Amino acid sequence: MNKNLRTASGVLLFGTVLICGCTPVTVSFELFGREKKLAETVVSEDDRATWKIAVIDIQGTIVDANLPPFFSRGGNPVDDIVARLEMAGADAGVKAVVLRINSPGGSVTGSDEVYREVIRFREKTGKPVVVSMAEVAASGGYYVSLAADKIVAHPTTITGSIGVIIPTINFSAGLAKIGIVARSVKSGPNKDLANPLEPMRESQYAVLQNLVDQFYDEFKAKVKSRRPNLDMAKFGEMTDGRIVSGKDALALGLVDSLGGVRDAFEEAKQLAGIPSAKMVKYQPEGSIRPRTPYASADELPLGAAMQMGTGSGAGGTEINMLQVNASGLFPNPGPSASCAYYLWLAEVP
């Protein structure tokens, strides 16, 4: 094989499946990285369409890190998004972009990087960007939306969750009960911030709170600057971390209109000044071609999870018995990671 085995972050997953009957069963794992070359597929088009509008999916956790191929789609989410923006920018036939967001957010840095790349795309190419919110566009998903010219939310979209979190956990009290005591040898009092094995120290949490406040102020500043029609009387409420429906987001001024991906497509055509267009998606070569604007442009023939096939040969029926989707997991899981996130935690299993 000429493909490189992608690192699985030291994690191996084993599935135990109860099988009835004597039907031959095969189990396969996808262990290899995806091809980075992208191909274009038309997923919808108007009559007599000449120009194109690219639909780019932003799904799952937004992080600038390589996720294991066992989890979700694998790869680096920021890299995947930027590669598609570059492809849309280089194509003179593409007159606008629709960002289809279905994400609970992600890391502070990853979300900000995507935000900056969307701003850069608009400034460099002059092509408008419209966000189409799907089921969830919360926290970092909303942060990225702020970079667009227009935001279209479905009435039942879950959005908002404007805020920052640094998750920590502490085991010291439980360990002490069984006679285990930890002590770090460190160069300074804050070298082991939020160490989960030693008693909690409020002075250290004050350091983390300062970071949270800094990132939170930046988030709120972007909301104010990018959403001029906000209901400022309710600004404190809408930025306290709560989630809202797409319908409520419209009333608060967080989004511009209600509708689905086709409504965002119409908005993009209007901003681009074109009467008709084709909707296109970019998928890695060798992956399943998306059939409609709602299809993911990243699915491999057998998916990114364990697959089970019944029967034998090419005519066997493929049955997905176990699918592992960890797109909501933190990219660097661990109680002492102390990473900052624009993330709606209800999406974490």
pLDDT score at 124: 97
Are 171 and 181 in contact, with CB atoms under 8 Å apart? no
The pLDDT, as a whole number, for residue 270 is 97
Residues 214, 250: Cα–Cα separation, whole Å:
27
Is there a contact between 192 and 175 (Cβ–Cβ < 8 Å)? no
The number of helix segments (H) and strand segments (E) in the chain equals 8, 14
State the DSSP H helix or E strand holding residue 59, giving kind and residue range, or none if neither.
strand 51-59
218 by DSSP, 3-state: which? helix
For position 320, what pLDDT does the model report?
36
Which two tokens mark 205?
């949490």
Residues 6 or more apart from 28 whose CB is under 8 A from it?
A: 302, 306, 307, 309
139 is catalytic: yes
Domains of the chain: 25-168+231-347 (3.90.226.10)
pLDDT of amino acid 90: 97
Tokens 């570059």 belong to which residue? 86
| pTM: predicted TM-score of the whole model, two decimal places | 0.78
Per annotation, catalytic residue among 37, 191, 224, 234? 191
- Which residue matches tokens 């406040």? 213
Q: Which of 139, 145, 161, 338 is catalytic?
A: 139
Residue 249 contacts by C-beta under 8 Å, 6 or more apart in sequence? 153, 157, 159, 160, 255
Residue 180 burial (C-beta neighbours within 10 Å; 0-12, 13-18, 19+): exposed
Per-residue pLDDT of the chain (349 residues; tens, 9 = 90+): 444 443 333 333 333 333 333 334 434 444 444 446 899 999 999 999 999 999 999 999 999 988 765 444 558 899 999 999 999 999 999 999 999 999 999 999 999 999 999 999 999 999 999 999 999 999 999 999 999 999 999 999 999 999 999 988 989 889 989 999 988 898 988 888 888 888 888 998 999 999 999 999 999 999 999 999 999 999 999 999 999 999 999 999 999 999 999 999 999 999 999 999 999 999 988 788 888 999 887 665 544 433 333 333 333 333 333 333 444 444 443 333 457 888 887 644 4
| 178/262 Cα distance (integer angstroms) | 59
Q: What is the pLDDT of residue 18?
A: 33
